[in-house]
């Protein structure tokens, strides 16, 4: 049975500074490149037939590092804006920990994790779901149906949106789901892209979500 592999991009320049990056483009740090290569080694034993990434450079660099580390230079890749990170709107570029002090623990957690919590001039997780999941159904599930193993490298929130669909997680429970840096989720799915089986690989990381 074909395998779906989800992986989160590793540390970007703004991850290191603790800033909300959203749709802003920032490169990986040297540590991010190092850990991305390690993530590639972690799945070296799995055949990759097709790879997808968002349009953001940090995801593209992570995917390239994962494939290059194991000499997978011939894997077809596709980049899609539908897999981009959540748009943090007016909070883009702001220090997460300063915002924690301003908003307080409860509102800060709701902003970061809830299903439909608004961001001024930005997106909710629900908005991300409404672009990422249709893309997944149309472009990725079809590859799996053909027996192709697929690697998807994206972002904390676009991956949470996919996991919500794949694992049939409720609107309330998704607030408790985190996709960690260094995390790799490997699924077997049914014809609709829902989970039949799952295993996780966690490459140790010093980066906090």
The 10s digit of each residue's pLDDT in 153-168 is 999 999 999 999 999 9
Percentage of the chain modeled with pLDDT above 90: 94
pTM of the model as a whole = 0.95
Task: Please confirm, yes or no, whether 208 is among the known catalytic residues.
Answer: no
Rounded mean pLDDT, 163-175: 98
pLDDT score, position 69:
94
Work out whether strand 183-189 and strand 195-202 pair parallel, antiparallel, or are unpaired: antiparallel
- Diameter over CA atoms, the chain: 50
How far apart CA 199 and CA 149 sit, in angstroms, is: 15
The 10s digit of each residue's pLDDT in 52-98 is 999 999 999 999 999 999 999 999 999 999 999 999 999 999 998 89
The 10s digit of each residue's pLDDT in 101-116 is 999 999 989 999 999 9
Q: Which domains does the chain have, with CATH numbers?
A: 4-202 (3.40.50.1240)
Interaxial angle between packed helices 30-42 and 57-69, expressed in degrees from 0 to 180 and rounded to the nearest 10 = 50
Residue position matching structure tokens 């660099």: 61
pLDDT score, position 1:
87
State yes or no: pLDDT of 26 exceeds 70.
Answer: yes
Rounded mean pLDDT, 4-25: 95
pLDDT score, position 207:
85
How far apart CA 188 and CA 183 sit, in angstroms, is: 17
Mean pLDDT, the chain, integer:
96
Query: Are residues 187 and 166 in contact, defined by beta-carbon separation less than 8 angstroms?
Result: yes
DSSP 157-200: HHHHHHHHHHTT--TTGGGG----TTEEEEEEE-TTS-EEEEEE
Task: Please confirm, yes or no, whether 85 is among the known catalytic residues.
Answer: yes
Instruction: Place 209 in a pLDDT band, splitting at 50, 70 and 90.
Output: low
Write down the H helix ranges in 82-172: 96-103, 105-113, 125-135, 141-145, 156-166
Catalytic entry in 11, 61, 85, 123: 85
Whole-number Cα distances in Å, 155 to 11, 140, 146: 11, 16, 26
pLDDT score, position 151:
98
Query: Are residues 176 and 157 in contact, defined by beta-carbon separation less than 8 angstroms?
Result: no
State yes or no: pLDDT of 208 exceeds 90.
Answer: no
């Amino acid at each position: 049975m074909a395998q779906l592999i989800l992986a989160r991009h590793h540390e970007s320049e703004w991850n290191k500074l603790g800033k909300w990056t959203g749709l802003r483009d920032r490169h990986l740090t040297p540590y991010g490149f190092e850990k991305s290569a390690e993530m590639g080694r972690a799945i070296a034993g799995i055949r990759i037939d097709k790879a997808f990434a968002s349009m953001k450079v940090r995801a593209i660099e992570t995917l390239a590092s994962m494939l290059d580390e194991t000499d997978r230079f011939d894997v077809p890749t596709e980049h899609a804006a539908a897999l981009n990170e959540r748009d943090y709107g007016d909070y883009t570029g702001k220090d997460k920990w300063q915002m924690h002090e301003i908003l307080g623990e409860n509102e800060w957690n709701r902003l970061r994790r809830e299903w439909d919590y608004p961001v001024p001039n930005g997106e909710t997780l629900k908005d991300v779901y409404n672009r990422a999941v249709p893309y997944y159904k149309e472009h990725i599930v079809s590859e799996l149906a053909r027996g192709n193993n697929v690697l998807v490298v994206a972002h904390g929130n676009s991956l949470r949106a996919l996991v919500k669909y794949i694992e049939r997680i409720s609107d309330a429970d998704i607030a408790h789901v985190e996709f960690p840096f260094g995390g790799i989720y490997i699924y077997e799915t049914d014809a609709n892209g829902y989970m039949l089986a799952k295993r996780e690989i966690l490459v140790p990381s010093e980066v906090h979500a």
